[in-house]
Structure 1
């Protein structure tokens, strides 16, 4: 080792990715210690850094050529000691002149004053703020003005950023930003982002996600002028990656207006966009000829047809045929439908529309999830996709063994994933396995045995349960409403002890992963509301209220236990006084 030149040793150490291995190797000799100090370009610190201020100063003094620093205090508690504060950012700006990439996650002791120190980081290119609850708009404005080379900005769960959007206007006028990600920032609306102005010209990746519920009454853009052709007069011809989630739009008001302006678009994700129509997809197909990947996650809307209530898809075959005609380079497609009601007929995509898309575009990866429209007829259309290499079927309960036999005719299929599909059995899967030489096979939560998939591919993953999915069935309640019921692990008596904790933990897990109106439990039902959950006995009588710990509310206390529900008194006494309103259904 001593005979090797320094450049060779440095190259060896660059190829070691695990920080623990790199730290151990640097302790072998003084020469390796010095080389590691000179060439270490990335560090990640968090709860283990104590005392925080002195330890960070030591690290920055040793590794003087740091280019990327991540400070992450996820799951931090006060017992872990103090976090890195504003003085820590002063240390970074002083000791790390080459810093280009900074990530701050769950840093509660850093505010706008700390961000002001970043203006001394003249080479800062990327800034990511995750759950930085003390960062406001004024701090972002200081960064926008002082960091001239900033090209990437990520804002995630930063709810204090609201009000004055001057930072956004300044970044737009400067025109240097190439990547902008905004997720779950309650104070930033889609209309604020439209103030980005000239910045859209250079932007290459844009992500905007909203976590709260749709509110059609809030669709009021102050800058929109009806019947004015150039209401949103900006250009985004450099945009290649566009991802929108949870927004609402009507008559081209809002961010959906971007679909007609992105001529270089290659990746598009539209997840639960309220107001999305076939006309939007036609506009997309006419302007985005280079589109290679599209992900559509949709929720059916209720309509009235000749046979009563009908669930209609926001998009139909018109959208699929428009994509087939205008986006001939499309290779990755995801079509996901999430609905709480699975027994009603649906109007939307059909075999004809899917077959047109598969035959016109060289689709190599396909994801189909949920809804009644994905059945054996769709599998027949899949068999005509000559370029299809990777297929993922999730919650497609109407696909049977006959459909799987049709899939065996897919000539290029090498990767297959089946999750929570209960319509086919070992016979259908075995037919595909025998016909195709699979590289990867994943089967989770299906009515398929391990014997049918064992040795069926080079890589096989099997699980009797599917992560993230419950066992759903639909049943009517006496009041005539329909609701989803999820089976819960049964406990004999919830009189106290560990069984109560396990029982409540199971309910909490279901509540976090469910969007249902009520859960069907032994002896009654559990209603899910905005502020928490309420237990209703089998005769419809209100019994008690659970909130706080289970639902994440900040200051309200939960029930201490779930006792017998003979007359409701056992739970009633433990319910907060402000919630003792038996006449109100909290769901």
Structure 2
């Protein structure tokens, strides 16, 4: 084995995809160990009974060409485990080719350790921070904004990184193509929030460019804060995918700004908050956040739109006005080539809604979470040609799962599934294009 040329050894290593097999292979010969170490590009670390700092230092010394590192302590709560701290994370500064770093539920790392990585790893282009309780928006964010090359930034449930802190990223916004920010806040705590310092006429807070941003996901944020959603969307000229999940104070104005700026938008997912209400003469006046007008301007301003998801909070089920009606679905289908449509909690969808769908020649995937009996009755009214567009029909009802297979007009197998307990059940049955009623 030691006499084999290095090129052949490298070919052997490349053909082995299992991490455990690669680890076993390195015990066969010293040459294989060296070749594998030079080719190892990604490592994922969890908890260890041994010194985590020494382990990471040893790995960084051995694998000099690392480009991707993930440290994941999700679900680990045992006190006798060793966790990586700032001194251990600083070892990554020696990995000059590191391009992607993910820290998931790492309890001991602070902003100081992250700053050492930002300074040492000049090639870092993707950073994911998930459930990191001690990391705040210190110098690391400002340093990466002014000196880094980040193209992908994901921040989820990091309590010490607040929405206004993102402004420190400065010119780094210009380089980003993917950004996610999720705040760990209960929905009930967000209801009725209004920022008393909010000034709609002050645009200076968002004085930066993000022309390259293509993928934006914002969860549990406040649209009216220092980092204002309306001004942010106006700057995302290249945006293709947008997810807004339970955004406080989201209004039609935000959607109008989106339609005017993001002409390349292909996918949008809106998880809408319950309408706010005010008391007037012992009566309640409900004020929805988004109305049909939003979807109308979106359909006209974003002709490339192909995927739409509308999810309504469970608190809207018994309200007289949730803001959106069947008219918004009609406008979207008539104005855009919608391939995927998801309606969750849309109680306005009925027999007429099914007839609206029958006029769509492009729809391939439909997911509905509404009243089963009403939708099933309406489903029978759809023309056969419309049903032949789909490959899977799914309805969530009480009872056992039954599957009926047939062929549609283009020869694909269609599976009609009744009684699935969850979306996961259907995914196992058929990963192809789906038509879902739940």
Per the TM superposition, whether the score is higher than 0.5 is: yes
Gaps of at least 5 residues in structure 1 are 84-107, 448-452, 467-587
CA distance in 1, matches of 2:56, 2:227: 47
Secondary structure of residue in 1 paired with 2:206: coil
Taking structure 2 as the reference length, the TM-score comes to 0.80
Q: Give the conservation status (yes or no) of the 8 Å contact 1:350–1:378.
A: no
* Match for residue 145 of structure 1 among 100, 119, 137: 119
Secondary structure of residue in 2 paired with 1:114: helix
* Match for residue 227 of structure 1 among 184, 201, 218: 201
Query: Could you report, residue by residue, the CA deviation over 1:469-492 in whole angstroms, capped at 9, with x for unpaired residues?
Result: xxxxxxxxxxxxxxxxxxxxxxxx
CA distance in 1, matches of 2:173, 2:58: 41
2:143 alignment counterpart:
170
**Residue 202 (structure 2) pairs with residue 202 (structure 1):** no
Relative to structure 1, the CA distance from residue 158 to residue 333 in structure 2 (aligned partners, 3 Å threshold; closer, same or farther) is same
Q: Give the conservation status (yes or no) of the 8 Å contact 2:69–2:101.
A: no
CA distance in 2, matches of 1:432, 1:401: 19
User: CA offset at residue 245 of structure 1?
Assistant: 0.7
* Match for residue 165 of structure 2 among 192, 197, 211: 192
CA distance in 1, matches of 2:363, 2:433: 19
CA distance in 1, matches of 2:245, 2:335: 24
Query: Could you report, residue by residue, the CA deviation over 1:443-463 in whole angstroms, capped at 9, with x for unpaired residues?
Result: 46569xxxxx9xx989799xx
Secondary structure of residue in 1 paired with 2:297: helix
User: CA offset at residue 254 of structure 1?
Assistant: 2.5
2:68 alignment counterpart:
68
RMSD, matched Cα: 4.1
Relative to structure 1, the CA distance from residue 309 to residue 432 in structure 2 (aligned partners, 3 Å threshold; closer, same or farther) is farther
CA distance in 1, matches of 2:256, 2:9: 56
* Match for residue 297 of structure 1 among 249, 271, 292: 271
Relative to structure 1, the CA distance from residue 14 to residue 49 in structure 2 (aligned partners, 3 Å threshold; closer, same or farther) is farther
CA distance in 1, matches of 2:138, 2:34: 46
Taking structure 1 as the reference length, the TM-score comes to 0.61
* Match for residue 402 of structure 1 among 377, 402, 408: 377
**Residue 197 (structure 2) pairs with residue 249 (structure 1):** no
Secondary structure of residue in 1 paired with 2:211: coil
CA distance in 2, matches of 1:154, 1:272: 21
Q: Give the conservation status (yes or no) of the 8 Å contact 1:404–1:431.
A: no
Q: Give the conservation status (yes or no) of the 8 Å contact 1:405–1:432.
A: no
User: CA offset at residue 286 of structure 1?
Assistant: 0.8
Gaps of at least 5 residues in structure 2 are none
Q: Give the conservation status (yes or no) of the 8 Å contact 1:405–1:431.
A: no
Any residues of structure 2 matched to 1:419-438 within 5 Å, and which? 420=396
Higher mean alpha-carbon deviation, 146-155 vs 205-214, is at: 146-155
**Residue 303 (structure 2) pairs with residue 328 (structure 1):** yes
Kindly tell me the number of residue pairs found equivalent between the two proteins. Answer: 422
User: CA offset at residue 436 of structure 1?
Assistant: 8.4
* Match for residue 375 of structure 1 among 322, 340, 350: 350
CA distance in 2, matches of 1:406, 1:140: 58
Query: Could you report, residue by residue, the CA deviation over 1:138-180 in whole angstroms, capped at 9, with x for unpaired residues?
Result: 3333433343332222221122233x64332232222522111
CA distance in 1, matches of 2:94, 2:407: 60
Query: Could you report, residue by residue, the CA deviation over 1:286-324 in whole angstroms, capped at 9, with x for unpaired residues?
Result: 110000111111132154799965766422211111111
Greater Rg by CA:
1
**Residue 65 (structure 2) pairs with residue 43 (structure 1):** no
Q: Give the conservation status (yes or no) of the 8 Å contact 2:70–2:102.
A: no
* Match for residue 350 of structure 1 among 322, 325, 329: 325
Any residues of structure 2 matched to 1:376-525 within 5 Å, and which? 376-397=351-372, 399-407=374-382, 408-410=384-386, 413-416=389-392, 418=394, 420=396, 439=413, 441=415, 443=417, 445=419
Q: Give the conservation status (yes or no) of the 8 Å contact 1:346–1:372.
A: no
CA distance in 1, matches of 2:12, 2:284: 66
